[in-house]
Structure 1
């Protein structure tokens, strides 16, 4: 596998982990403690990373909500 292929695979995996964390946040209210990260730059990057999962989660819910194959209960 080429370097670009591995980079794409790694980025998709990271996005899926962020998406799962967003689902846990929405369903249970549990979130990672970002205050325990002392470096403000790293904390900012982690915040941006988690926002990617939130955006993907919102997009997925909106797409599935408008699909005829899914119904809300």
Structure 2
């Protein structure tokens, strides 16, 4: 597998982890404690990373909600 293929694979895995964390936040209210990061730049990028997961989560819920294959119970 090429370097580009591995980079895409790792990127998709990171997005999936962020989406799972967004689902955890929406269902339980638990969220990672970003204050533990001393570096402000790392803290900023972690906030953006978690925001990306929430966007993917929202898009997935909206897509499934408008699909005929899913029903709310």
Fold agreement, TM-score > 0.5: yes
Segments of 5+ residues of structure 1 without an aligned counterpart are none
TM normalised by structure 2 equals 0.97
Within 2, Cα distance between the matches of 1:40 and 1:8? 27
Within 2, Cα distance between the matches of 1:10 and 1:39? 24
Aligned to 2:71: 71
Cα displacement (A) at 1:61 = 0.2
Cα displacement (A) at 1:39 = 0.9
TM normalised by structure 1 equals 0.97
Aligned to 2:26: 26
* Count of aligned pairs between the two proteins: 73
Segments of 5+ residues of structure 2 without an aligned counterpart are none
Does residue 16 of structure 2 align to residue 12 of structure 1? no
Q: Which runs of 4+ in 1 moved over 6 A?
A: none
Within 2, Cα distance between the matches of 1:4 and 1:19? 23
